Amino acid sequence: MFGVGNKILGLDIGSSIIKWIVYSEDKNMPLVYNWGFEKTPYGAVKNGRIFERQILLTKLKEIIVNNGIKVNKASITLSCPEMIIRTVTIPKLKQREIQNVVRFEAEQFIPGNSDEYIIDYKIYGETKENQNDLLKTLIVALPSGIVQNYIELLEDLSIKPLAVDFNGNSACRFLNLFLKNIRDKDYVLIDMGASNTIITIAERGVPVLTRLVQIGSEEMVRTVANSFNLNLEDGEKYIKTHGRVFLDNEQPEDKILWEMMTSIMPTVELLLKDIFQSLEFYKSMTKKSIDTTLMIGGGSYLKNIDKYVAQQLSMNILPLKGIFPLKMKKEMQADIVSLFCNVLGLAFREGE
């Protein structure tokens, strides 16, 4: 009763914002005791890599102390440009044999030494080919150096690492439970963070294709700050209050809006091109197309960005509204959920 119990700290340490939850696992419905977010110390993390370990450690200690967090286990969701995700079909084998086949498959697509990667897999379906039963398998390879850095970070906090997940996968797990009918859908999830955007194509909730592109909202902050002669901090404030994307049929009404359009749209167009390419690649591989999109992450707060992406790709937007699949001791406002999809996904174990 007085111990740490089974409480777990869930962390999503973005380059701009640290999102955290304290939760306990439960087969029926996980319970979130507390949650919060804090600015990541500038330059401490970029593209999933920890650059300023001591500074980040101090920040995490501060979060733990200030919020009275008492845990001895933590799970982390992360992403980095070096992570590789592939889907393959493998023969239906015994568990131990599967591991060997997965390792062999992963070695085919890992550049360089596969010993430098942590490889994991998930079976997400079955199929038949020439009378043979095959398993549809998702393989994920994360550079072990990056994962090790997070594990050491937790060890420095005297917290045991419980699980490491990747952004996109964790968000889909939460969204599949949160959004009614999404399990029946194939959708493209666009998680626009500060330094990068993760494009995930999910087939009936399973992320079968994930791509990280190094385009994020901080690029828009930079161009807006430049155009309006502001420093980066004020540029960020300005974009949050006045920033917007212009739809095809819209024309900026004055010079300020014109400035806004010309400073924001090039980044949006670049991102759109990458999303389009991912969708085309998926289509060429599967002969299937996707007609539903969903945007999350801090960049998705930019006014009209989701509408513009949907308009340009002729897709429907799935609104982020549903019945919360977690019990929350502290209510989470609806407009914040989009930032927390990845970290909330940690509360559900794989396969639930």
Ligand X SMILES: Nc1ncnc2c1ncn2[C@@H]1O[C@H](COP(=O)(O)OP(=O)(O)OP(=O)(O)O)[C@@H](O)[C@H]1O
Interacting residues with Mg ion (CB under 5 A): 14, 193
The least distance separating ligand X from the CB of residue 170, rounded to whole angstroms, comes to 12
**Quick one: 204 or 240, whose CB is closer to ligand X?**
240
How many residues are recorded in the chain?
352
**Are the CB atoms for 235 and 221 separated by under 8 Å?**
yes
**Using the rule CB under 6 A, is 15 a contact of ligand X?**
yes
Query: From CA 85, how far away is CA 121, in angstroms rounded?
Result: 9
From the list Mg ion, ligand X, none, partner contacted by residue 176 (C-beta under 5 to 8 A by kind): none
19, 32 Cβ separation under 8 angstroms:
no
Q: CB 340: neighbour CB atoms within 10 A?
A: 22
Q: What tokens were used for 22?
A: 């304290």
State which of residues 142, 221, 225, 326 lies at the interface with ligand X (CB under 6 A): 221
Dihedrals phi, psi of 334, to nearest 5 degrees? -55, -35
* Helix/strand/coil for 98: helix
With contacts defined by CB under 6 A, name the span among 138-146, 234-242, 250-258, 287-295 that binds ligand X: 234-242
Q: How far is the CB of 217 from ligand X (least distance, A)?
A: 4
Query: Residue 185 — φ and ψ, nearest 5°?
Result: -105, 155
Query: b/e map of 161-187 (b: 16 or more CB within 10 Å)?
Result: bbebbbbbbbbbbbbbbbbeebeebbb
Query: Which of ligand X, Mg ion, none interacts with 240 (beta carbon under 5 to 8 A by kind)?
Result: ligand X
Task: Tell which one of 14, 30, 168, 235 touches ligand X (CB under 6 A).
Answer: 14
Structure tokens at 241: 């209050």
Binding range to ligand X, per CB under 6 A, among 147-155, 191-199, 247-255, 276-284: 191-199
Whole-number minimum distance, CB 302 to ligand X, in Å?
4
Nearer to Mg ion, 14 or 235 (CB): 14
What residue 216 binds from ligand X, Mg ion, none (CB within 5 to 8 A, per partner kind)?
Answer: ligand X
The yes or no reply on residue 345 touching ligand X (CB under 6 A) is no
Can you tell me the distance from the alpha carbon of 85 to that of 318, in angstroms, rounded to the nearest whole number? 24
Tokens at 197, concatenated: 């955007």
The minimum distance between CB 252 and Mg ion, in angstroms, equals: 30
Residue 238 to residue 232: CA distance in whole angstroms: 10
Q: Assess 261 for contact with ligand X (CB under 6 A).
A: no
Q: Which of 207, 297, 325, 345 binds ligand X (CB under 6 A)?
A: 297
Q: Residue 209 or residue 296: which is nearer to Mg ion going by CB?
A: 296
> Interface mask (CB under 6 A) for ligand X, residues 236-255, using x and -?
x--xx--x------------
What Å distances lie between residue 102 and 62, 91, 171, 267, 284, CA to CA? 41, 11, 24, 37, 24
Contact 13, 40 (CB under 8 A): yes
Positions touching ligand X (CB under 6 A) are 14-17, 193-196, 216-218, 221, 236, 239-240, 243, 297-299, 301-302, 339
